[in-house]
């Protein structure tokens, strides 16, 4: 039986002002696994059922690109976005998801 998980989607507050790193592989370019949540704002949160975190993240990626909930007002999930799943942050990389440590004060 699948377990219910909580998630929150964080997207850059001002993508154009942050330059190319917003849409590029920020973690690899900066050689770090840390993301400053002060540059992001929470655009959606909810619950989802599933068993494996990677499968849940891929399902969220598909949902928020193909069939976004009407209450979601962000852009489609893309490189640079962060999903916090059950308290663990995951960075949307150019291929898949990378676990990251978040810091800073979220807006």
Whole-angstrom CA distances from 98 to 29, 40, 102 are 13, 17, 12
pLDDT, one tens digit for every residue, the chain (107 residues): 679 999 999 998 876 555 545 445 554 545 567 778 888 899 999 999 999 999 999 999 999 999 999 999 899 999 889 999 999 999 998 888 988 888 876 65
Q: What is the pTM of this model?
A: 0.83
Cα-based angle 11, 14, 16 (whole degrees, multiple of 5): 115
C-alpha–C-alpha distance, residues 73 and 90, integer Å:
20
Query: Given this model, what pLDDT does residue 73 score?
Result: 87
Q: What is the pLDDT of residues 43-64, one digit of tens each?
A: 999 999 999 999 999 999 999 9
Tell me, what's the pLDDT at 106?
Answer: 62
């Amino acid at each position: 039986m699948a377990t219910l998980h909580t998630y929150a989607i964080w997207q850059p507050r001002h993508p154009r002002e942050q330059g190319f790193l917003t849409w590029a592989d920020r973690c690899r370019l900066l050689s770090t696994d840390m993301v400053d949540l002060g540059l992001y704002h929470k655009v959606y949160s909810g619950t989802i059922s599933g068993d494996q975190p990677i499968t849940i993240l891929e399902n969220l990626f598909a949902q928020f690109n193909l069939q976004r909930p009407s209450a979601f007002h962000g852009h489609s999930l893309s490189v640079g976005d962060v999903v916090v799943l059950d308290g663990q942050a995951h960075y949307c990389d150019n291929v898949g998801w990378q676990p990251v440590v978040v810091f800073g004060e979220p807006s």
